[in-house]
């Protein structure tokens, strides 16, 4: 009899603790769903956002520069690193890096990172990719 009461009490305690222990996961899953739901944009927990375009690197770079300009983000530099193009830019309290990596002559992978000091701004990274995509679709 005491064993049944102990099991029942343990089950009730576990059932009461589960929602408390998982409450942080809900916010993470909702954020991941919202960002991941953006058309084909991959997002990592480190704040890096990826998108692969079926376009040559030159067209993606041109659209990226137009998107940054449209968003009022100042381009600081553009350089080649190991076959990729790295664009460094800045906005208010944000350091932004966009890497364009040609996978094939007609396929380019875009990686964006927006940092605010020690923190990452994945919303800005995602918006840069979405604006680039809009410009590519309108040309």
> For residue 47, what pLDDT is reported?
76
Asked if 132 contacts 57 with a C-beta cutoff of 8 angstroms, the reply is no
In degrees and rounded to multiples of 5, residue 56 shows phi and psi of -65, 155
The correct answer on CATH 3.30.413.10 for the domain covering 41-137 is no
> For residue 118, what pLDDT is reported?
86
> For residue 139, what pLDDT is reported?
74
HSE on the CB side for 29, CA within 13 Å? 5
What is the tens place of the pLDDT at every residue in 70-109?
999 999 999 999 999 999 999 988 999 999 999 999 999 9
Ranges under pLDDT 70 in the chain: 1-40, 42-46
Asked if 99 contacts 110 with a C-beta cutoff of 8 angstroms, the reply is yes
> For residue 29, what pLDDT is reported?
45
> For residue 1, what pLDDT is reported?
55
pTM score of the predicted model: 0.69
């Amino acid at each position: 009899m005491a064993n049944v009461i102990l099991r029942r009490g343990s089950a009730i305690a576990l059932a009461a603790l589960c929602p408390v222990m998982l409450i942080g996961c809900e916010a993470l899953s909702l954020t991941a769903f919202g960002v991941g739901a953006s058309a084909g944009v991959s997002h990592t927990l480190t704040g890096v956002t990826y998108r692969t375009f079926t376009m040559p690197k030159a067209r993606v770079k041109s659209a990226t520069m137009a998107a940054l300009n449209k968003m009022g983000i100042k381009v600081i530099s553009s350089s080649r690193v190991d076959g990729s193009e790295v664009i460094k830019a800045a906005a208010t309290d944000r350091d932004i890096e966009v890497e364009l990596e040609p996978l094939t002559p007609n396929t380019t992978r875009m990686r964006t990172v927006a940092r605010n000091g020690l923190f990452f701004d994945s919303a800005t990274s995602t918006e840069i990719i979405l604006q680039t995509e809009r410009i590519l679709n309108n040309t």
